Amino acid sequence: MSARGRKITSQFGHADIGVSRYFALYLAQAGWVALGLYLYSQAIWPSTCTPHGLVEIYMCSGQLADNRGWVEAALMTWLWTTPLLLALAGMELLRRMGILRSDR
């Protein structure tokens, strides 16, 4: 087996990424944002809370389940998983830059 075919475990996460993976990554991100926009446009907010800004959206998102619709429940889930996904992406960037080491 040639040196190219071997898996180098000490360089996990630092190999070159093909163009198709970049397209898949950005397509998934665009789909996630499109899903959030669709859910936001279709959701019916409770009459006690009509948000006008990002902070108000998160403050009112706990009341979305009061309508018991699937769109509202999905929007609440989308709203609360997005910051977690962003935090994971930030941790991965820090790990790739060497600031956050995974071998400790």
* Alpha helices (H) along the chain: 19-42, 54-60, 70-97
Query: Could you tell me the pLDDT band of residue 30, with boundaries at 50, 70 and 90?
Result: very high
Is-contact 46 64, C-beta < 8 A? yes
pLDDT beyond 90 at 7: no
25 versus 34: the higher-pLDDT residue is 34
Q: Show the tokens assigned to 32.
A: 């996630």
Q: Write out pLDDT tens, residues 36-56.
A: 999 999 988 888 888 888 888
For the segment 51-100, what is each residue's pLDDT rounded down to a tens digit?
888 888 888 888 888 877 899 999 999 999 999 988 988 887 787 777 76
Largest CA-CA distance found in the chain, in angstroms, rounded: 67
At 91 the pLDDT is: 85
- Tell which wins on pLDDT, 70 or 3: 70
pLDDT score of 25: 81
Sorted by sequence, the CB contacts under 8 Å of residue 85 that are 6+ apart come out as 32
